[in-house]
Amino acid sequence: MVARAVLPHPGLWWASLGALHRLARRGWWRRPPFVPLPGEAYWRFRVVTAYGGEGEAETLTPSDVVAYLRWCQRSRPRRG
């Protein structure tokens, strides 16, 4: 779902790689499913802080992903 949301926005590809690097649980390559995903507790926390209440991961929409990555781009310190 996330890749499908980001694919049409090439300007967000670097931001998505940076977010993936920051959010991936440590040592993700050592345990199945061998995918750089956030840990379950962190993911639950982020969904609750984003949507309130119990927070359901299913409420995450492609537009939410794009908005988050645009925010990451804007808030990243500029070099130079």
Containing structural domain, residue 54: 2-75
Q: Is there a contact between 24 and 37 (Cβ–Cβ < 8 Å)?
A: yes
Closest CA to 37 of 62, 72, 3, 7: 3
Residue 18 maps to a domain: yes
Residue 20 maps to a domain: yes
The share of the chain scoring above pLDDT 90, in percent, equals 15
Residue 80 maps to a domain: no
Number of domains in the chain: 1
Structure token pair of residue 10:
């090439």
Identify the DSSP state of 54: T
Q: Is the pLDDT of residue 80 over 70?
A: no
Residues in the chain: 80
Q: What is the pLDDT of residues 40-72, one digit of tens each?
A: 888 788 888 877 776 565 677 888 889 989 998
